[in-house]
A and B are shown apart, each in its own frame.
Chain A
Amino acid sequence: MPAYQVFNRTTGDSFTCNGDQSVLKAMEAVGKKCVPVGCRGGGCGFCKIRVLEGDFECGKMSKAHVPPEALAQGEVLACRIYPQADLTIECVPQPVDAVVEQATRAKQTTTRAMR
């Protein structure tokens, strides 16, 4: 199975990915964290990236996270793409969830109060 290089332009990381391996799985296998890891099943949209250069094959992904217009812009889920050439990718920012914000704020408030 041919191996390809994946270069993350946002973080400067690069790693090797086999043609039968998802980009996310290859990244996890070498211990890199340059793309957020979610469900690994094409459902949650956490690992959304934009492919700037290179061909790839694509598995099933949630339409909620990758509607056809996003796919046309090269937006895909890293857990569902299999490189057919060297890839250049970039991260797509995720919206911050309210619960995490609230909990983080609560923790900060408490820490301040304890001083």
Chain B
Amino acid sequence: MKKGVMRPGHVQIRVLDMKEAVEHYTDLMGLIETDRDVEGRVYLKAWTEVDKFSVVLRETDQPGCDFMGFKVLNEDTLVSLTQDLKDFGLEVEEIPAEELKGCGRRVRFTVASGHAFELYADKEYTGKWGVTEVNPEAWPRDLGGMKAVRFDHSLFYGPNLPEVLDVFTNVLGFHLAEQVMDPDGNRIAQFLTASMKEHDIAFIHSDKPGQLHHTSFYLETWDDVLRAADLISMTDTSIDIGPTRHGLTHGKTIYFFDPSGNRCEVFSGGDYTYPDHKPVTWTADELGKAIFYHDRQLNERFLTVLT
């Protein structure tokens, strides 16, 4: 949080069919619907999140991710980071307050990988869902499905990773927690964090800009990941791979798809990092193990199926 960027705050996901998508993210994954707007967008949150929403679904004819937003400390931070982004040479778009209901003004910019990001300082504080603010119980008893704990991170595919790293580290104050290097010394994957989590955002190199690999949600335990896998089978949901463990971050994970083909992850555990930690490095010749620690084999679908 060196420059005042606190955490991932929201992600807007494009879906082909809103009804199917809402069922997926609420009934299966356990997010809670908090609002809808005149554009037909649906607002969702995970139960431990204190703000009004973290996931926004937008129905259109091309799945993928519109943008991901990060919450910053306060308005002063937002003002100074906006200037820093402009000084870096990025075009900055001002989105007025309430364009997303309950969210303050947002500052949007597109990085060299073709992905749009936003910074904002204010969002309606609704508190954790289903528990009281004072003397809270351990968890709400009426959560559905996988009972996702929080929106954790996104992984994007695109070009120009060195420029993206430059913006996230030098302008926004993230640090590089993990990386994959190819034999020529190119960084083909970079996992970046503004916190102690092993990634708040990650990028993998691809020539095609602006692609979404997955949106990830945190679960408490490995047993919850196994239970998520059970639910994926019970609902005949399209599975990608898992349950397994990653080499990168060492998280315990399962991947599956929403009804529009956007990949979702739920995971538990994973390493921690501090700003003084050197980046954890995996080499491209061990990419199979880096991604799937048990299979130790490259999985073409995992690397190339994107929205």
Taking Cβ atoms with an 8 Å cutoff, the residues of A that contact B are 36-44, 46, 60-64, 94, 97-100, 102-107, 109-110
Q: Which residues in A have their C-beta under 8 angstroms from that of B305?
A: 38-39, 44, 46
From the candidates B157, B204, B303, B307, name the one contacting A43 in the complex (CB within 8 A).
B307
Q: Which residues in B have their C-beta under 8 angstroms from that of A37?
A: 301
Contact A38 B301 (CB under 8 A): yes
What's the least CB distance linking A29 to chain B, in Å? 12
Q: Which residues in B have their C-beta under 8 angstroms from that of A39?
A: 238, 240, 257, 261-263, 305, 307
Question: 5 tightest A-B contacts by CB?
Answer: A43-B261, A39-B261, A41-B261, A43-B63, A106-B284
With A40-B238, A44-B307 known, 5 other A-B pairs at CB within 8 A are: A39-B262, A61-B16, A62-B61, A62-B62, A105-B183
Considering the chains assembled together, what is the distance between the CA atoms of A3 and B63 in angstroms?
31
A-B contact pairs, 17 of them (CB 8 A): A39-B238, A40-B261, A41-B258, A42-B16, A43-B261, A44-B305, A60-B61, A62-B61, A62-B62, A62-B261, A99-B303, A100-B303, A100-B304, A102-B188, A106-B182, A106-B283, A109-B285
What's the least CB distance linking B84 to chain A, in Å? 31
Contact B285 A107 (CB under 8 A): yes
Considering the chains assembled together, what is the distance between the CA atoms of A64 and B307 in angstroms?
9
Considering the chains assembled together, what is the distance between the CA atoms of A64 and B16 in angstroms?
12
Total inter-chain residue pairs, C-beta < 8 Å: 106
Contact B206 A97 (CB under 8 A): yes
Which of A39, A100, A105 has the largest count of B CB atoms less than 10 A from its CB? A39
B280 at the binding interface (Cβ < 8 Å): no
In which size bucket is the chain B interface? 35 or more
What's the least CB distance linking A28 to chain B, in Å? 10
Contact A62 B63 (CB under 8 A): yes
- Report the nearest A residue to B21, measured CB to CB: A41
Which of B63, B64, B258 has the largest count of A CB atoms less than 10 A from its CB? B63
Contact A41 B259 (CB under 8 A): yes
What's the least CB distance linking B268 to chain A, in Å? 23
Considering the chains assembled together, what is the distance between the CA atoms of A66 and B45 in angstroms?
32
From the candidates A60, A61, A94, A110, name the one contacting B285 in the complex (CB within 8 A).
A110
- Report the nearest B residue to A65, measured CB to CB: B62
From the candidates A44, A98, A106, A107, name the one contacting B261 in the complex (CB within 8 A).
A44
Contacts A39-B257, A62-B16 given; indicate if A97 touches B63 (C-beta within 8 A): no
B142 at the binding interface (Cβ < 8 Å): no
Contacts A41-B238, A43-B16, A64-B62 given; indicate if A102 touches B261 (C-beta within 8 A): no
Contact A46 B285 (CB under 8 A): no
Considering the chains assembled together, what is the distance between the CA atoms of A94 and B63 in angstroms?
19
Q: Which residues in B have their C-beta under 8 angstroms from that of A97?
A: 206, 303-304
Contact A46 B304 (CB under 8 A): yes
Q: Which residues in A have their C-beta under 8 angstroms from that of B283?
A: 106
